[in-house]
Structure 1
């Protein structure tokens, strides 16, 4: 029985391999920029709420552009759409370098750059996600999603550690420059892809820009697809109600008495747990009851976040070193659970959605999967200003578990989802 990560998609598909390498570079660069922005904002304001506001500014373009961008993906060549969004991300990386080099001290500049980055991400992400099922056979998609997840987890492990070290030793400008240079590799990966027009398109017919009716078609399909809808709702439970990332700078520096580098350690703990789980994710591709797997993973995530909050609250009794260890262990468990849940959710969405609607459903998925954490950062950052970071984490983990129980009670058939007979 295969136990380790399945590398078959990388071995058998050159286009997927190029796209994966580019995604690896862009994900690492994005973590450099994301961590640097959080640290820069906390240095300017000393406020977790200011860091949490990043999520709010990122949310609006993800919602608007993600929904409409998905409709565009269903009409135009998906490679070209991804490249267009990539150019915007590339430019944003250069502007990050410029503001740091000029000694920017205005928070609105950072928030504006977050808006630009989220706009580019909301274009690239649904296009790239809709490309994968065209490069690989369906039975390789769970393995591909695990490989994609390990890219994100690996970048979240290395990126914050590297960003914390770089900010501390070489400054913000060089940290942002690393992001800009890495995205060059991502552009190469998308450029080398073959054309990926929507299935059923007619040669020689000029594609027209879709209207709001096209977006509404995707929403109407989602209303009739309870299993796909549950992938969104379970992610909402975890990422909107219990996303701890906006609190990590305050937990590291204020509660644990650490430095910017300690913030990187906490972020890396989440990624380390995900990497460990994904390294031994071979059996995941053989799980038929993917709905049950999703629910179990999200529930475990909520419990782990609550335990991380409890460790923060006990820090005064345990001492900072032991508290740091316990917080890292809890965050690592949360990362493991979230990564497995992501593999299940993404596979269900890709396999159960017809190709002509994949772009639109991926656009909605991006709103939930990428926009949800941004909203969660704002909500948890705001809560922490009232309760403190420790109690905010405990409350978030409990809310995740309770919300998950509620949505499963309303849609119990999700537990019967069968990977060998995928029904939307």
Structure 2
């Protein structure tokens, strides 16, 4: 784990820096525009193009290698931060600049993430993949806790430029650590054809569809990916509606909302630390399926039914703790069962297919609540009103409960699949001799 821990330390620090910069930039956009629509558009532009380009990123990862892909992704992300810094210091920064940069950053983030996931199996043996992925899972909740606090303090004491300089410094640190850490090469891809033929458009198109066809041929992986598509949709709905529901039921109590959101980050840290320590002792598919079922219950289902701050905090804490365990085991399954030389293309296809439900959930949550469900609760009474509330409160709660039930149903259905039973454990002995191929 030594080499991986070195790389991870740089990437973790860079994630905190990026999270802090993103928080500061979104506050700047809100301060300049005061528009929720423009704010939401910035988030969507940072997500959707990256998902669409994930298969292309996967092809590049397999062609240039995971480490090179991570370095290129981080390098371009550093350039975008430097561009924003320059525009801000010269007084020329406008909101439309950030929209263009958000698209570039989304695409480069895909390249970075696919490369990072393919890099991990080159640094640790199969038996420690869950632990390594658990450490990687610390980045999201860590940024969720630290980035708003750090960004808020820096903006109060200085301005946006200091935050962007910090982001650049963390990118430089991560790249330096990765360059200085000996990294094994992936196994040769083994495709036939000379260099000119490998660069042809026909071959590139074949590489683009390779990941999709590989997943389609592996029925257990296809079933698992379909399950994550459903869970990501449920999670996106939960993400979009949890804040509005808490504000509606608490009387716009921002302090309570802040504590609930922080509890989710704390839960994520605790869950990541736990799975890093003991996750290898539990069967991977058990972690995935049991975690998904538990997360659906304690997450959107409980949040939709809860009326008190203590239950909201408990729901956010428990759901946040479950997520790293599920993601760590899920990543380890794919890293174990996909050959190293194909992981870029397969992981790129997986990212597009599994996470395409995220923007779908974000887009439908608001309109469904506002235009489809709220009228149904306008004159609601009896048990539905007592359990969920009336008007928009009841509508929001109902959609959250439905999202939780959807995730739970999908997970329970997957548990009955014979294709998933016994699937996901290490299939090869630990490699010995990779040091011969260090670069």
TM-score tier (shorter):
0.7 to 0.9
Write out aligned runs for 1:16-27 (5 A). 16-27=4-15
SS of the equivalent of 2:228 reads helix
Q: Distance in 2 between matches of 1:50 and 1:394?
A: 27
Question: Do the aligned residues in 1 keep the contact of 2:333 with 2:425 (CA within 8 Å)?
Answer: no
Q: Distance in 2 between matches of 1:60 and 1:401?
A: 26
Question: Do the aligned residues in 2 keep the contact of 1:306 with 1:396 (CA within 8 Å)?
Answer: yes
Q: Distance in 2 between matches of 1:160 and 1:384?
A: 28
1:416 alignment partner in structure 2 = 421
Give 1:264 shift: 6.0
Q: Does 1:192 align with 2:146?
A: no
Q: Distance in 1 between matches of 2:79 and 2:257?
A: 27
Change in CA separation of 1:305 and 1:72 when aligned onto 2, cut-off 3 Å: same
Choose the corresponding residue for 1:348, options 325, 333, 336.
333
Q: Distance in 2 between matches of 1:47 and 1:121?
A: 26
2:269 alignment partner in structure 1 = 275
Q: Distance in 2 between matches of 1:390 and 1:173?
A: 43
SS of the equivalent of 1:198 reads coil
1:231 alignment partner in structure 2 = 224
Q: Distance in 1 between matches of 2:393 and 2:156?
A: 24
Give 1:199 shift: 0.8
Choose the corresponding residue for 1:298, options 288, 292, 314.
292
Give 1:240 shift: 2.6
Write out aligned runs for 1:55-134 (5 A). 55-101=43-89, 106-134=94-122
Change in CA separation of 1:361 and 1:305 when aligned onto 2, cut-off 3 Å: same
Change in CA separation of 1:172 and 1:307 when aligned onto 2, cut-off 3 Å: farther
Give 1:308 shift: 3.0
Change in CA separation of 1:257 and 1:333 when aligned onto 2, cut-off 3 Å: same
The structure, 1 or 2, with the larger RCO (C-alpha pairs under 8 Å, 6+ apart) is 1
Change in CA separation of 1:67 and 1:247 when aligned onto 2, cut-off 3 Å: same
1:5 alignment partner in structure 2 = none
Change in CA separation of 1:240 and 1:155 when aligned onto 2, cut-off 3 Å: same
Q: Distance in 1 between matches of 2:181 and 2:111?
A: 17
Q: Does 1:214 align with 2:199?
A: no
SS of the equivalent of 1:413 reads coil
1:3 alignment partner in structure 2 = none
Q: Does 1:135 align with 2:135?
A: no
Change in CA separation of 1:35 and 1:159 when aligned onto 2, cut-off 3 Å: same
Q: Distance in 1 between matches of 2:134 and 2:279?
A: 9
2:40 alignment partner in structure 1 = 52
Change in CA separation of 1:374 and 1:185 when aligned onto 2, cut-off 3 Å: farther
Q: What's the RMSD between the two structures over aligned residues?
A: 3.4
Choose the corresponding residue for 1:395, options 395, 399, 416.
399
Structure 1 residues 272-329: Cα deviation after superposition (integer angstroms, max 9, x where no partner): 10111222223321222x3332122123223312433445xx4xxx6xxxx3x54333
Structure 1 residues 54-77: Cα deviation after superposition (integer angstroms, max 9, x where no partner): 443133322332111111212223
SS of the equivalent of 2:81 reads helix
Change in CA separation of 1:329 and 1:404 when aligned onto 2, cut-off 3 Å: closer
Question: Which region of structure 1 is more displaced relative to structure 2, 358-367 or 159-168?
Answer: 159-168
Q: Distance in 1 between matches of 2:185 and 2:397?
A: 44
Write out aligned runs for 1:256-405 (5 A). 257=252, 265-281=259-275, 282-288=277-283, 290-303=284-297, 304-311=299-306, 314=307, 323=309, 325-368=310-353, 372-380=357-365, 383=368, 391-392=395-396, 395-405=399-409
Question: Do the aligned residues in 2 keep the contact of 1:231 with 1:349 (CA within 8 Å)?
Answer: no
How many residues get paired? 397
Change in CA separation of 1:241 and 1:417 when aligned onto 2, cut-off 3 Å: same
Give 1:127 shift: 1.1
Larger radius of gyration: 2
SS of the equivalent of 1:230 reads helix
Q: Unmatched 5+ residue regions in structure 1? A: 1-8
